[in-house]
Amino acid sequence: MGAKTEAAPTLVWFRQDLRLSDNPALAAAVDRCGPVIPVFIWAPEEEGSWRPGGASQWWLNRSLAALTHELEKRGSRLIIRRGPTEKALNDLVAASGAKAVFWNRRYEPAAIIRDRELKAEFPVRGVAVESFNGNLLFEPWMIRNASGQPFRVFSPFWRACLSKSVGPPSKDAPRKLSSPGEWPHSLAISDLKLEPPVDWAGGLRETWQPGESGATNQLKRFQKQAIEEYSAGRDAPGVVGTSRLSPHLHFGEISPGQVWRAVVSMMNEQEMLNNQARRAACDAYLRQIGWREFAYQLLYHHPESAEQALRPEFATFPWKTDPRTLQAWTQGKTGYPLVDAGMRELWHTGWMHNRVRMVAASFLVKHLLIGWQEGAAWFWDTLVDADLANNSLGWQWVAGCGADAAPYFRIFNPVIQGEKFDATGAYVRRWVPELAGLPDDWIHKPWKAPVSTLVNAGVELGRTYPAPIVDHDEARERALRAFAGIKGK
């Protein structure tokens, strides 16, 4: 009998799935019993106007380094190439003799088009291609209403999701990966020039640990410290009361299935069965995973929603162009402490508490009447969890122009929101330190504080801290008139 012929190599194309555990594309490649060649291709120009922003590139740089380290521990390596993607993959197939290319699906419009073209091309050349669900609990086409149409309202969508079972994990991270006889040429991560040329990322470095182990540590921290108080703590920006897993989920350093199973496992523990408060907290958190699923369903079925309002009447909304107030908003100098604290937290850490995101976004589109696309673009460049589906859903929700959106007359009052969710001013004092000396009663409305109080706190409005750039009551009335003008269209 002749010697057994080893299976041809398989390329595993890593994208927004930068992990080794619960990675179905990687698991399928391992099951072929031949060499596995992990690949990453940097092709930002193929993302159209949504190429990764500065904060995302910083995170990607660190996440690729973490993935490389984990692969090397298993006797493998990450092959890095620049785009165009089609050429890069073709070159790698030719250089390695690979007979299969596997990847996990993405759902952004540009990625869907690119994947469809690759699936049509490779089989003609005798190369098998297969994609997998590694980034969602349910595929966007799986959840339908009674008429067979995709949902546009979250609550019934979520009930439909809960009627289905979340699948089991694919596999744990492999202990070893089979290597080819000769590795294809690879760029170094540094060749991609993802780090900013001027170092503005000190706050990001001190806040985050990108990579699969960082995601695992963050999940463990949340399970141990925050889940019991999540129902209340998730709305308090002054405490670490949320999971902070959003950037890890975006880059696929952890799968939503892993998070889901970890939380459900907690709910099924004996000590949790009779603890209604903790079970309610778990339910509330899983619901947030559901909003992520809903965002991807909307983007998949309405790819135009990344740039256009889902509600057609908003095509004629009288958005304003005002570079001066837009700049004040981006710099955290609006004169409203909660808004400014959020924008400064965003700039320093690449992240903003979700409650404050809603308030800051509402301020831009309703107090300033600046288009939601402007805000979405700023978040896209500055968030480490900049995710096209979630970013688009969030901004359209606040602006009132998306699916299941907030009613047009819901206009957050930044003062009331601050007093309710940051009553002691801990969040504002951290991110707007020039107001730190103000008493709790005035920390969210310094322009109303007695002169003596301002003097004692070292606050001089218009010099050490800006006066409000708009009056809330006047801005609210102006917004209501503008939104009412399109209500019946």
φ, ψ dihedrals at 453, nearest 5° = -65, -40
Give the three-state DSSP class for 465.
strand
Tokens of 212: 């699969």
Question: With a cut of 50, which residues of the chain have pLDDT below it?
Answer: 1-4
Fold of 136-167+212-301: 1.25.40
Nearest 5°: CA angle at 305, between 102 and 374?
Answer: 110
Identify the sign of the CA torsion 183, 189, 190, 192: positive
Give the three-state DSSP class for 248.
helix
pLDDT at residue 489 in the model:
55
pLDDT at residue 11 in the model:
98
**Residue 383 contacts residue 56 (beta carbons within 8 Å):** yes
**Residue 377 contacts residue 396 (beta carbons within 8 Å):** no
pLDDT at residue 270 in the model:
57
Rg (CA), the chain: 24
Whether 312-484 and 10-134 are alike in CATH topology: the answer is no
Residue ranges per structural domain of the chain: 10-134, 136-167+212-301, 312-484
Question: What superfamily would CATH give domain 10-134?
Answer: HUPs (3.40.50.620)
CATH number of 312-484: 1.10.579.10
Give the three-state DSSP class for 40.
strand
pLDDT at residue 3 in the model:
44
For 311, other C-beta atoms within 10 Å of its C-beta total: 17
For 195, other C-beta atoms within 10 Å of its C-beta total: 15
Among the listed residues 434, 410, 412, the one whose alpha carbon sits nearest the alpha carbon of residue 333? 434
**Residue 10 contacts residue 99 (beta carbons within 8 Å):** yes
**Chain Cα centroid distance, residue 300:** 16
CA distance 364 to 167: 40
Give the three-state DSSP class for 282.
helix
Q: Which residues contact 378 (CB under 8 A, 6 or more apart)?
A: 330
pLDDT at residue 372 in the model:
97
Tokens of 263: 């939380």
**Residue 60 contacts residue 68 (beta carbons within 8 Å):** no
CA distance 456 to 437: 8
Nearest 5°: CA angle at 25, between 214 and 187?
Answer: 70
Give the three-state DSSP class for 266.
helix
Strand pairing class (100-104; 79-82): unpaired
